[in-house]
Structure 1
Amino acid sequence: MGEDQRLELRQGQRLILSPLLQQSLKILQLPAIELKEYIDEELEKNPVLETAEREPELPAAEKDDGSLDIEKLAEHFAKEGSGPDTYEERERGKKPDIDYENLAHTRYSLEEHLLFQLHMSDIPEDELKVAEYLIGNINEDGYLLVSVEEAAEKAGVPVETGVKALAVIQGFDPTGVGAINLRECLKIQLKAKGLEATLSYKLVELYWEEFEKGHLEVIAEKEKIDIKNVYKAIEVISKLEPKPGLEVNDSEVRYIVPDILVEKDENGSFRISLNNEGVPFLKISKFYREMSQKANITLEEKKFLKDKFSSAVWLINAIGQRKKTLLKVTAAIIEAQKDFLENGTDYLKPLALKEISEKIGMHQSTVSRVTAGKYVQTPKGIFPFRFFFNVKIATGEGGPCVASRAVKDAIKNIIEEDKNGNMSDSKIQIVLGELGFKVSRRTVAKYREGMKILPAIKRKILGKMKGGSLQ
């Protein structure tokens, strides 16, 4: 691979990504709004970058070793090209309008964020069961409200399994989530930053009581160090997040801008397009391109321009690759969930990230990156990409599998129709069986609790009270 694109193996065989490859991975993950902000920052930093009226096409400009041909691409991107932004026969007609009225109707909760990461994890079924219970008992600040022992007992698994499940959750984003108290939360964050061997970690691990009481001189004396070092360690801790859940669990409604627009054309086919609204197209400045080719510029100026051209080419190429990947992944998802788009939630099929990655020949981590935190506008509404990935639930021996979301919707509908609060989990299980969903009573209880719906006896009491609620 080229020098800028290189993957390196350092001591301990740890994979190191070059800065430009890290940039490419970051761009792949950015949703539309954040991509616009990132591009605006790059336009400020890099003088050879300019906005273009139309999108440049990506030519085949790779060398035999897989690196980018910077010179060829810099020359190409100095011209304004036009790139289609729909899948297949792109930009044949008018792009679908964005449904602005519904942009604020989606709130991305911490629980949803954690469950999505959990269901993308490859962990045993017993760990998955207790992990779902643990996530359901994490508050909006990101702290765990139950003990591992209680969670394991509720899930009917050994405590050791609960410990493993919690370790998985504590590795999720946002860092620090799943801790039982502030001390553990800070330790998780310091570990994630690789700071276990620092004084900052010692303050939390060994000197928590002194730290809380402000007895900094005592810490300095015990460690035989200058108190200035203690202050520096505290400064590191002060930059950590004491309430990690708030990064996701914002109390305000978030305005969601879809990255992908899906509409049905006159032939009844679904047409997919990228939402480029507000995201500037980029090109390389002809002025600086011509300047770099002049004989009278200094070596220092030539090196400066070469570096800026390289950075600009990588950025434009990374944005183009993000688009191609996003369209390809979306097309596979839409194909798999076509029945849902035609008929609604009851027709949502079980779908795993692995199925999509295998179908399009892409690594599972790439599919995960490009779909995380992004939304798609469909004829049925605006949905996060994670909505389309569902756990399989068997409907009976030899019968088809259905998506867990369809089972949850059925449970919710049954309870909403039960005005008197008579439908216990066992009765709901029977009704689900009549509807074709063969699930256990425990599964009914788990899904009901996950939707924060009270058990039958409490619903019955609330039903007799004025203004009673299912929630």
Structure 2
Amino acid sequence: MRTGLQQTTGLRQELKVNPRLYQAMDLLYMPLLDLQQHLKQELLTNPFLELVEPEDEEEDSSDADDVPEPQDMAEPEAPAEPEPEKSGDDEVDWEAVLLDGFETGGQREEHEQQEWHEPVTVAGRDLADHLTEQLSLLALSPRQAFMAEEFVGNINDDGYLACTLEEIRDGANQVLRREAEERDIDGEVPEFSEEEIEALLLIIQELDPPGVGARNLRECLLLQLRADGQADSLAGRLVAEAFEELIARRWGEVAKRFGISPQAVQAAADEIAKLDPKPGLRFSAGSDNYIIPDLVVEKIDGYYHIFLNDGNLPRLKISRIYTDIARDKKRFDTESKDFIATKLNSANWMIQAIEQRRQTMLKVMHYIVDRQREFFERGVQGLRPLTLREVAEAVGMHESTVSRVTNEKFVQTPRGVLPLKFFFSSGLSTSDGDDVSARGIKDQIEKLVSGEDPRNPLTDQAIVEILQETGVQIARRTVAKYRDQLGVLPARMRKRV
């Protein structure tokens, strides 16, 4: 066998995805706000795209209809002022713009600056700002102020100290040694001692909000109780001396240990539950999340109608001026022809892709409404099992396409604003052969727990038996899984004495 490099020719078939197909999938995936920004960007980069103005829509509709007689026309509220005639200097030479590579015509740049100016969100005050402001009001020495900044920088958004005191001390001492070397200070620089660090921690823990600077949950609760004057109360003693038993809700053991009744222990636990386990979050600088529904479902005359909420979406059309100029291909060189063809094809494809996106979303939502009609009539209990594959088969699309349509999309319904993913869930069979949604089962479990006797809470097996009486076939482990997803504690930990 001869070894070495050889060149051979051959035929083979390869399946390659068109780049425009990737872009179409991205458009389908985009929520309404992202799509709006994307279309604005396309308007800036593609000269063959332009906005459809209201007067253009009226002109198109008037061209399609017959011109009415003067007596049939409504009188305008106020006569429109005639537009001043544009002189030759004011008109834009579109032909020159196209031939010069779209760099002439000063009005286009001015239009972009005025039209696409985006407001910038101003940052608010966070926990670090709140703590720094309080420290500035204290009579701290420069040495203490330096260390206080180290503490504030190591407090996380929850209000807890994110590192140990030894790490803070070592970091501060390292900064002192580096400063001494840079300034060429003779002699030893006094480093921070463990006592100084602990004393300054007490100063930090006296700041607002109560509980800030704690190293764990137990210390956070103790700081809040101390700030409220309850350090020596039963609640303070329970947190200080029996915190593990308190978390496990072993009321009987705690009652015997402190020589009190279980009712008193539970009453103290209720007071502790009112404390804030994450005091720093109230000063969190998290941004507000606004939801704009992509679709609207309204009930009109007993029928559910579906609308696309795309009124604020830029409506695009092909620019007639640029298209007319581009037809004269003899005036352009090869590079300009390729540029014109690429941009024109991209503009046509973009308009088609947007329309395809609209039709796809409407088709998917129509099937969801037909399938989940009982939900719109009766609420969560009427929600039926639904999967992406079922919708894909019904509307004649691929399952991944339906997933992109429903991802991060919201719909405004008579039952509130809901994500499209809300309508998809697994199902359980009933004794009469029907299917019930897992979301509906969770709602039943939540209602059963909220209406139970606190002194005798329902166990998972008791919930299984109640659901089986209504015809729902469900296992105990499934009830336990749904209960955990709802954040409901086991029956032993829900019991009141």
Whichever residue aligns with residue 341 of structure 2, its letter is K
Q: What is the alpha-carbon distance in structure 1 between the residues aligned to residue 424 and residue 409 of structure 2?
A: 13
Q: Which moved more, 1:402-411 or 1:271-280?
A: 271-280
Deviation at 1:358, TM superposition (A): 1.5
**1:400-434, Cα deviation, whole Å (9 max, x unpaired):** 11000110000011111125161111111122222
Contact 1:391 1:404 in 2 (8 A): yes
2:303 to 258, 264, 269: 269
Q: What is the alpha-carbon distance in structure 1 between the residues aligned to residue 331 and residue 12 of structure 2?
A: 47
1:194-343 mapped onto 2 (5 Å cutoff): 254-266=289-301, 268-294=302-328, 295-343=330-378
* Pairs aligned (count): 262
Give identity over the alignment, percent: 41
Give the alignment's Cα RMSD to 1 decimal: 2.7
Q: Does 1:380 align with 2:415?
A: yes
Larger relative contact order, structure 1 or 2 (CA cutoff 8 Å, min sep 6): 1
Deviation at 1:449, TM superposition (A): 0.6
1:360 aligns to what? Answer: 395
Contact 1:56 1:80 in 2 (8 A): yes
2:435 aligns to what? Answer: 401
**1:247-267, Cα deviation, whole Å (9 max, x unpaired):** xxx96552211111010112x
Q: Which has the larger radius of gyration?
A: 2
**1:191-231, Cα deviation, whole Å (9 max, x unpaired):** xxxxxxxxxxxxxxxxxxxxxxxxxxxxxxxxxxxxxxxxx
CA separation of 1:14 and 1:452: change in aligned 2, threshold 3 A? farther
Q: What is the alpha-carbon distance in structure 1 between the residues aligned to residue 55 and residue 492 of structure 2?
A: 60
Whichever residue aligns with residue 311 of structure 1, its letter is S
CA separation of 1:299 and 1:55: change in aligned 2, threshold 3 A? farther
Please report the TM-score for the alignment, with normalisation by the length of structure 2: 0.49
Partner SS for 1:17: coil
Deviation at 1:309, TM superposition (A): 0.5
Where in structure 1 are there 5+ consecutive unaligned residues?
Answer: 1-10, 58-78, 83-249, 465-471
Deviation at 1:31, TM superposition (A): 1.3
Partner SS for 2:331: coil
Contact 1:349 1:402 in 2 (8 A): yes
1:43 aligns to what? Answer: 43
**1:280-319, Cα deviation, whole Å (9 max, x unpaired):** 0001111111110134333332321111101111111111
1:21 aligns to what? Answer: 21
CA separation of 1:257 and 1:406: change in aligned 2, threshold 3 A? same
1:86-235 mapped onto 2 (5 Å cutoff): none
2:385 aligns to what? Answer: 350
CA separation of 1:422 and 1:12: change in aligned 2, threshold 3 A? farther
Deviation at 1:28, TM superposition (A): 1.1
Q: What is the alpha-carbon distance in structure 2 between the residues aligned to residue 292 and residue 265 of structure 1?
A: 48
Contact 1:357 1:364 in 2 (8 A): yes
Contact 1:55 1:281 in 2 (8 A): no
Whichever residue aligns with residue 42 of structure 1, its letter is E
Deviation at 1:81, TM superposition (A): 8.2
Partner SS for 1:16: coil
Partner SS for 1:444: helix
Whichever residue aligns with residue 301 of structure 1, its letter is S
2:445 to 374, 391, 411: 411
CA separation of 1:42 and 1:55: change in aligned 2, threshold 3 A? farther
Contact 1:264 1:270 in 2 (8 A): yes
Where in structure 2 are there 5+ consecutive unaligned residues?
Answer: 1-10, 63-284
Partner SS for 2:16: strand
Q: What is the alpha-carbon distance in structure 2 between the residues aligned to residue 448 and residue 338 of structure 1?
A: 27
Contact 1:329 1:360 in 2 (8 A): yes
